[in-house]
Amino acid sequence: MPKLSIRDVRKAYGANQILAGLSLDVEEGEFVSLVGPSGCGKSTLLRIIAGLEAQDHGTISIDGKPVDALPPKDRKIAMVFQDYALYPHMTVAQNMAMPLIMASLPWHARLPIVERIHPLARRGRPAVEAHILETARQLGIDHLLERRPAQLSGGQRQRVALGRALVRSPQLFLMDEPLSNLDAKLRTQVRKEIAELHDSSKLTFVYVTHDQTEAMTLSDRVAIMQTGRFLQVAPPVALYDDPDNVDVARFIGSPEINLLPAQVVDQRLRIGDQLLGVAIPASASGDLFIAFRTEAALLDGDLSQERGAKTSEALDFDITGVEDHGADLILHGTLTTEPSVELRLRAHKAPGVQTPSLRIGGRQSIRLIREGLLFFGADGKRLRGPAATPSVAPSPAPIAAQQQQVAAL
């Protein structure tokens, strides 16, 4: 039985439809991320799961039981927000203890002065303090328990927010872009800590982010959202290697996947005015798109790194921009086909080796690794199935000669 079950959930604000009939099962102990551009509905769905908003249609179930009629406090859910939401006048220990106090004491016993002397509060205080200390040690913030939020760094505040949620012993852990306020170094550190927390707690996590790196490194499965719908729900490696449509392929991966308009002519692939002898899906015909990631395009100097790889004929590539990423260069440019096609390629640096051709205005010959090519129909949907046997590829020829061949087809 799934830990969390979402069935045909819909939400609209007037004529603006936010969620368009979403269904998803999240298993016990699974880490699922909801990823998509701003406005796609991912945070709205998380708030509906938490009970902070009501859906217009559909059902949310936890452990097989519908929770649509339950208020947030009765759903046994912990939620971590983007802005930490810590009480500035309380210490770390007091912030972390607040959920336990709210759950165990009547409202009048939670008043600041009464809480210090109320019999229920006094009897439960040792157990609360022990639980707070244990959780703080787990998160590495036990030395911060007497500090206030203003005395903490952004990463420390986020750990306090995680601890405050964790002390409730929730059945389900919800996170709404918890790392977006941190700098790059802290994001990497806290991301590692969230992964360790998931491994050690065995809790079920649903995580909202617009950052594909967070989703790909943390998740068992990722749900790609767009305009209130799931485009694809799959493990990260499947989204990267085997996307269902163009939108998923373009969203996952950095640099963005290369997408080239192409045509099938006599069972051969034509890109602009060049013909490539590569295998294409048997169902492919007419106009389509060919897509490949940077690792599937080999510069002449990189061919030795892919021994035995079956590659396409050489294509000329003019460099119009260079991004130096330290160990790699990201090259922006165009194929010298007619019409030209924009591409992004990756070049690996070799220590002590100068590459004068890898500069703006330079020209490189590239070959595409056939196994790295993805095909999409004109409607953007993935073309799968057995590949048709390619015709014998034309021998390399000047562009003018190839233009004559194409004109004769």
The string of pLDDT tens digits covering residues 342-366 is 899 988 877 766 666 688 988 888 8
Q: How confident is residue 392, by pLDDT bands cut at 50, 70 and 90? A: very low
User: What share of the chain has pLDDT > 70, as a percent?
Assistant: 84
Which pLDDT band, with edges at 50, 70 and 90, does 404 fall under?
very low
- According to DSSP, the residues that pair with 207 across neighbouring strands are 33, 175
- pLDDT tens digits, residue range 34-72? 999 888 999 999 999 999 999 999 999 999 999 999 998
Q: Which CATH class is domain 4-241?
A: alpha beta
Task: Locate 114 and state its tokens.
Answer: 């009464």
The listed range with the strongest mean pLDDT (29-38, 135-144, 156-165) is 29-38
pLDDT of residue 399 exceeding 50: no
15: which 2 tokens? 């004529």
Confidence (pLDDT) at 326 = 82
Q: Go through 141-157 and write b for each residue having 16 or more CB atoms within 10 A of its CB, e for each that does not.
A: bbebbeebbeebeebbb
Task: CATH 3.40.50.300 in the chain: give the residue spans.
Answer: 4-241
Quick check: helix, strand or coil at residue 331? strand
pLDDT in tens, 145-187: 999 999 998 888 888 988 888 888 888 999 999 888 788 888 8
Q: At 23, is the pLDDT very low, low, confident or very high (cuts 50, 70, 90)?
A: very high
Residue 329 has pLDDT above 80, yes or no: yes
If you compute the radius of gyration of the chain from its CA atoms, what whole number of angstroms results?
A: 27
Looking at residue 354, its pLDDT comes to 61
Q: In this structure, what token pair is assigned to residue 93?
A: 């220990």
What proportion of the chain, given as a percentage, has pLDDT over 90? 42
* pLDDT of 100 above 80: no
The per-residue pLDDT for 21 is 94
Nearest-angstrom CA–CA distance, 280 and 297: 17
**Do 20 and 229 meet the contact criterion of CB atoms below 8 Å apart?**
yes
Average pLDDT across the chain, whole number: 83
Q: Tell me, what's the pLDDT at 387?
A: 61
Residues of the chain with CATH 2.40.50.140: 255-408
Report the first-to-last Cα separation within the chain, whole angstroms.
58
Judge whether residue 4 has pLDDT over 90.
Answer: yes
Q: State mean pLDDT over 175-201.
A: 86
Q: What DSSP string describes 8-44?
A: EEEEEETTEEEEEEEEEEE-TT-EEEEE-STTSSHHH
How far apart are alpha carbons 164 and 113 in whole angstroms? Answer: 22
pLDDT(306) > 70: no
Please state which CATH number belongs to domain 255-408.
2.40.50.140
Q: What is the pLDDT of residue 31?
A: 97
CA distances for 115 relative to 98, 106, 107, 108, angstroms: 11, 10, 10, 8
DSSP-based three-state secondary structure for 382: strand
Q: Are strands 57-62 and 65-66 parallel, antiparallel or unpaired?
A: antiparallel
Distance in angstroms (rounded) separating the CA atoms of residues 55 and 11: 5
